[in-house]
Structure 1
Amino acid sequence: MAKKNRLIQFIKIIVLATAICILMFYIKARSNYNVNIGFASDNAMYDNPLIGFAPSADNTELCEKAKLVYIRLTWADWEPREGSFDIDGLENRFNLQRWKSENKHAIIRFVCDIPRSESHMDIPEWLYSKTSTGTFYDTVLGKGYCPDYSDQTFKEYHKRALEALAEYCNRDHFVSFVQLGSLGHWGEWHATGNNDESLMPSEEVCEEYVNLYSQNFKNALLMTRRNYNFAMEQGYGVFNDMVGHSGDTAKWIDWLNKGGTQRTSGQELTLKPVPDIGIVHPVGGEFTSSVPMEEILGNGLGDVLQNVTTSRMTYLGPKVPDFTDEQYALTMDSILRRMGYRIYLSRLKMLYNYSSNTLNMTLSFRNSGNAGFYFDWPVTMVVFDKDKKKVFWQGLDIDLRKLTKDEDVSTTVSVPFSEKISDEFYLGLYVTDYDGKDHVILSQFPAEDITYIDDVQIVYHYPDDNDKEKTKG
């Protein structure tokens, strides 16, 4: 009997030892999935949506090479006959159906007054007959007609015209940025008469126009020429149409940093200090026409690079250099490197969970660019097996607008473990616009090593990447 008991105990010990060995082997095998890898950013990555040069949408040669297009629309062109809004004319002149099909995004500005070499009006003739209270001018800026923006009849018809334009833009997400035009020469919110008097309305009237834009444009981000207090309080961005003019741009940046005032025909406009506006709200602009482009990109290039960086600029247009000309290639590259966002996966932590049989992945992101990302575009994670077949995907709970270069923003996903991914798998990420058509390329370093499966950018490959030494950027 004693021998039998000893035999049973011995068998139990053998079984237990075997089980322990199997468990230790199992644990060791699963521990291979426990990783903590940092990734660096490649800031040379600028061929992405919503950033870069934005040539006029009627310039097909330049727009073919750009991600953004620019639309400057006069009221005379938008509403040639009272109550008749020329959508066909807008789309045909600016090739909008083509640019939409190519997944580009647009900036639009609605204008009522563009100084030119000859006398003219940029509001419709029928509107002038109803509101002839404005001013014909002939100044150093050119000739034209500045409406009386405080005229009640003018404001009522302007409201209808802008509502119709907003309704058109709100149909999709093609127009991503709206520059507040409407007021002033070129829609830049400054206007001067023949005696150097300001033709801009008072602050109270200006705020009415700002509120009208806020109430009607739903999908695009709004931007003003200067950092007006009432616009900044509503989360507007800003734009500088004098890039390349050192003095004017220095003054504009000083306004951003310190605030200031702007004269009008009545109460002054107040400028609110917003020194870091480009992190959370867009900053745009265009090159000035007052300085030859050869000078801007020659002796003035250093100032341009500094100003683009300091103001955290995201785009420039419609006045842009001929960036299809090879002689400007290095210059254009140096400007583009300083513009916009650079989103990247900064760290991946992966831990196998024995109780749930899952791979728990913590994905951390940063934005190493000079400017922010201003839209909550969806981010999706995809896992492919060794045959590059999709086995798991999930939308990530992450807001790209919160990313900065100083701190990780992280989210965790539990991936069901199976034999399909036990030996090898690929982890991919993709960021799309709201329509799922345009993609952001993550700025993973080095850019030349970026690979894809279908349209999904691959950021990690098991087991190969476990053997690679990666450092955090």
Structure 2
Amino acid sequence: MEDGGLFRRNCLMRILILLVGLFHGAEAREYQYAPAPVDNPLKGFVPYVESARNADFPCAMEFRYFALDELMKGWGRYDWTPLEATLEEVRGRGRQLCFRVYSEYPGKGNRVPGFLEDEGVKVVRWEGDNTYEATNYTPDYESPNFRKAMKEFIAALGEKYDGDERVGFVTIGLLGSWGEWHNYPRNDLWASKMVQGEVMDAYEEAFQKTKVLLRYPAGKNDSIYESNSERSFGYHDDSFAWATLDTGKEEDGWYFVPKMKKAKAEDRWKRQPIGGELRPELWESSFTSKPHPKSQDFAKCVEETHVSWLMDSGLFKAGLSQERRQNAEAAVRRMGYEIHLASAKVVDGQLVVEFENRGVAPFYYPWPVELLVGEEKVDPGWDLMKVSSMEGYQALTELPATWEGQPMRLRVKNPMENGRPLKFANKEQGDVWLELGEF
């Protein structure tokens, strides 16, 4: 959310643009809306890397879990090979990677680095409940050595990958089953608020550029979680459309929207991204004519959470029906951003444009906007992150002296090599450039 001074300056700038345009009688050229591509960057449905290799549904990102023991080999010793190999594979398909590092994952054995066990970190083996019948190995999160290891690992991870253009988003992980910040039903094994705070502190310090998402919103009086509502994280709802909306029932207070409300974090989406995963029980029936009886209204979940991306493995299996594909594509276009160039005009040698966002969330990274006037490149300095889903964004830039009669084009370049460009929701959008025409 803009601070007061910045908001006032933006308002004054917009008023000035309007007054200048009226005084000089400049007429704006309007541009036609057309749905943006389903695989626009940094939004939409996300398959696991293994599913993405033969994915039949368009996507812009892929997801993978990494175990702590495969990346951390000792104090100050790391093996980034598994992460690097995955980043390069995903980049080769023109996509960005979302990832999470875990220290325990039901059914995948003991993933606590061996050197920590050798130094006395205890690991508890236990069996899951009827929902997740798998063997779990939970480290002692209160152990000084384990806490030290997590902080050192996060610092090294951030030094290596913060701002890496191949990375879309990072989910915090490290604590709890699947790195999902709970050990249900063994709540006695869950990390204390002190440990949670240390992990969050480490991530905030290590990641200044890449967006990091946390599982559960929590305010100052949360009984389980250390307060995070004033931190610089987004959130991910991993039970999306199953336990998302507020039912008003006390037993459903752990659902995502009521937790957001209780934490007073309902407006977090304006500054930080919301992601997550469609609940696994919904994978087989999502976007079909026979939804799961326990599923919540997907469109309403999108509207209330302002979600940008979701994992849904059911969409990336062979044999996707045409009806299901069309329904899912329509859902993607509402998720995250969908930026439409509404109008443009030239006033006293300055190009004045107005953007609007037809999605539910902003674009969260400062990707460069490029303007081509004839054959001359212009850096307009426009910030698409200011195009919220609540209001438009007017901007202007000085044109070169030879602008008259020259065709103008606009694009947002993906800073990742081989990355697909961000495309506008315009009929005038080409394969790369948005055609503004001549003025």
TM-score range, shorter chain: 0.7 to 0.9
> Mind listing any 5+ residue stretches in structure 1 that lack a counterpart?
1-31, 260-271, 354-358, 385-389, 464-473
Instruction: Determine if the alignment matches structure 1 residue 362 to structure 2 residue 352.
Output: yes
Partner of 2:102: 111
Deviations 1:165-222 (A, max 9, x none): 22331372211211010111111111136xx443222222211110111111233101
- Distance in structure 1 (CA, Å) of the matches to 2:416 and 2:316: 31
2:416 aligned with 1:425, yes or no? no
3-state DSSP of counterpart to 1:213: helix
SS at match of 2:297: helix
Q: What TM-score does the superposition give when structure 2 sets the normalisation length? A: 0.80
1:272-421 aligned within 5 A: 272-291=263-282, 293-294=284-285, 297=288, 298-300=290-292, 303-317=297-311, 319-322=313-316, 325-327=319-321, 328-351=324-347, 353=348, 359-384=349-374, 390=375, 392-418=376-402
Stretch moving more, 100-109 or 432-441: 432-441
Change (3 A) 1:145 1:200: same
Distance 1:129 1:408, change over 3 A: same
The whole-number CA distance in structure 1 between the counterparts of 2:201 and 2:367 is 26
Shift of 1:258: 2.1
Distance 2:149 2:268 in 1: 33
State the shift of 1:314 in Å: 0.7
The CA deviation string for residues 412-454 of structure 1, in whole angstroms up to 9 with x for no partner, is 2232344xx65x432111112345764210112x3xx5336xx
Instruction: State whether residues 131 and 154 of structure 1, in contact with CA within 8 Å, keep that contact through their aligned partners in structure 2.
Output: no
Do 1:312 and 1:370's aligned partners in 2 also have CA atoms closer than 8 Å?
A: yes
Partner of 1:74: 67
Judge which range, 290-299 or 236-245, deviates more: 290-299
Q: How does 1:436-451 map to 2 (within 5 A)?
A: 438=419, 439-444=421-426, 446=427, 449-451=428-430
- Displacement after TM superposition at 1:318 (Å): 6.4
C-alpha contact (below 8 Å) 1:280/1:401 kept by paired residues? no
In the alignment, does 2:157 pair up with 1:165? yes
Corresponding residue to 2:84 among 82, 87, 91: 91
Cα RMSD (Å) of the superposition?
A: 2.9
Conservation of the 8 A alpha-carbon contact between 1:224 and 1:236:
yes
361-370 or 300-309, which deviates more:
300-309
Separation (CA, whole Å) in 1 of partners of 2:144 and 2:296: 47
Which residue identity lines up with residue 279 of structure 1 in the other structure? K
Distance 2:143 2:296 in 1: 45
Distance 2:346 2:234 in 1: 39
* Secondary structure of residue in 2 paired with 1:293: coil
Report what 2:127 is aligned to. Answer: 138
Aligned counterpart in structure 1 of residue 437 of structure 2, from 421, 446, 461: 461
Give the count of matched residue pairs: 394
Distance 1:281 1:65 in 2: 24
Contact kept, 8 Å, 2:124 with 2:138, in 1: the verdict is: yes
1:219–1:103 Cα change, 3 Å: farther
Return the letter of the residue paired with 1:104.
R
What are the residue-to-residue correspondences of 1:2-41 with 2, within 5 Å? 34-41=26-33
CA–CA distance in 1 between the matches of 2:273 and 2:281? 24
* In structure 2, distance between residues paired with 1:107 and 1:368: 24
In structure 2, C-alpha distance between the alignment counterparts of 1:367 and 1:123, rounded to whole Å? 44
Contact map agreement 1:246 1:303 (CA 8 A) in 2? no
Q: 2:257 aligns with which of 254, 259, 276?
A: 254
CA distance in 1 between partners of 2:164 and 2:182 (Å): 31
Identity within the alignment, %: 21
When normalised by structure 1's length, the TM-score is 0.75
Deviation at 1:47, TM superposition (A): 2.5
> Letter of the aligned partner of 2:110 in structure 1?
M
Equivalences for residues 187-226 of structure 1 within 5 A: 187-192=179-184, 196-226=186-216
2:13 aligned residue = none
Q: Counterparts of 1:365 and 1:197 in 2: how far apart (Å)?
A: 48
Q: Could you tell me how far 1:113 is from its partner in structure 2? A: 1.0
